[in-house]
Amino acid sequence: MSRRVVVTGIGAIAPNGEGADAFFQNCLDGVFSAAPVPEHWHHYGQLSSQVWAPLPSIDYSTYGVTRVDKMQLDPTGIMGIAGGVQALSQAGIATTCINERKGMHRLERIDPMQAGVYIGTGIGGLTSLIGSQANHVLTPVKKSCRDITRKINGDCAEAAAAVSDLAGSLRMPPRFNPFIVSMTMPNACAGTLGIRFGIKGPNETTCHACAAGTIALGHAFNSVKAGHITMALAGGVEYLTDEFGGIYRGFDIAGTLASSSHSPDSVNRPFDRDRSGFLFAEGGCSILVLEELSHALERGAEPVAEILGFAESFDAHSLMMMEPSGEQIERMFHSLLQQAGLTPDSIDYINTHGTGTELNDRVEAETIGRTFRKKPLIGATKSLIGHTLGASGALATSFTALALKHQKLHACKNLDNPEHDLNFVHTPGSYEIQNAIVQSFAFGGHNAALLMRRYAE
Q: What are phi and psi of 17, to 5 degrees?
A: 170, 150
43 in catalytic set:
no
- Which listed residue (26, 49, 72, 328) binds other proteins by CB under 8 A? 72
Least distance (Å) between residue 139 CB and other proteins: 11
The Cα–Cα gap between 345 and 393 comes to 23
68 near other proteins, rule: CB under 8 A: yes
Q: List the one residue from 59, 100, 155, 158 that touches other proteins (CB under 8 A).
A: 100
Q: Taking CA 29 as the corner, what is the angle to CA 28 and CA 33, rounded to the nearest 5 degrees?
A: 105
CB 62 to other proteins: min, Å: 17
Piece in contact with other proteins (CB under 8 A), picked from 76-84, 173-181, 188-196, 260-268: 173-181
The Cα 52–Cα 285 span in angstroms is 17
Shortest Å, Cβ 72 to other proteins: 6
Of the candidates 158, 169, 121, the one whose C-alpha atom is nearest the C-alpha of residue 287 is: 121
Spatial distance between the Cα atoms of 359 and 355, rounded to a whole number of angstroms: 10
**Known catalytic membership, residue 387:** yes
353: annotated active-site residue: yes
67 binds other proteins (CB under 8 A): yes
Instruction: Determine if 178 is a binding residue for other proteins (CB under 8 A).
Output: yes
318 binds other proteins (CB under 8 A): no
Positions of E strands within 315-356? 349-351
Instruction: Say whether residue 175 binds other proteins (CB under 8 A).
Output: yes
Beta pairing class for 203-206 and 115-120: parallel
CA distance 276 to 340: 36
Sequence-distant (≥ 6) Cβ neighbours of residue 115 within 8 angstroms? 107, 199, 200, 201, 229, 230, 231, 232, 233
For other proteins, the closer of residues 68 and 94 by Cβ is: 68
Q: How remote is the C-alpha of 431 from its chain's centroid?
A: 26
Q: Applying CB under 8 A, which of residues 62, 66, 169, 318 lies at the interface with other proteins?
A: 66
96 near other proteins, judged by CB under 8 A: no
- Contact partners, residue 101, CB within 8 Å, separation at least 6: none
Strands (E) in 73-155, as ranges, are: 95-99, 104-107, 115-120
Minimum gap (Å) between residue 169 Cβ and other proteins: 21
Q: How far is the CB of 178 from other proteins (least distance, A)?
A: 5
In whole angstroms, the minimum distance from the beta carbon of 453 to other proteins comes to 45
Q: Considering beta carbons, is residue 60 or 179 the nearer one to other proteins?
A: 179
Quick one: which segment of 30-38, 62-70, 337-345, 361-369 binds other proteins (CB under 8 A)?
Answer: 62-70
Number of residues that bind other proteins (CB under 8 A): 11
User: Measured in whole angstroms, how far is the alpha carbon of residue 39 from the centre of its chain?
Assistant: 25
Binding site for other proteins (CB under 8 A): 66-68, 71-72, 100-101, 174-175, 178-179
Q: Which residues have a catalytic role annotated?
A: 210, 353, 387
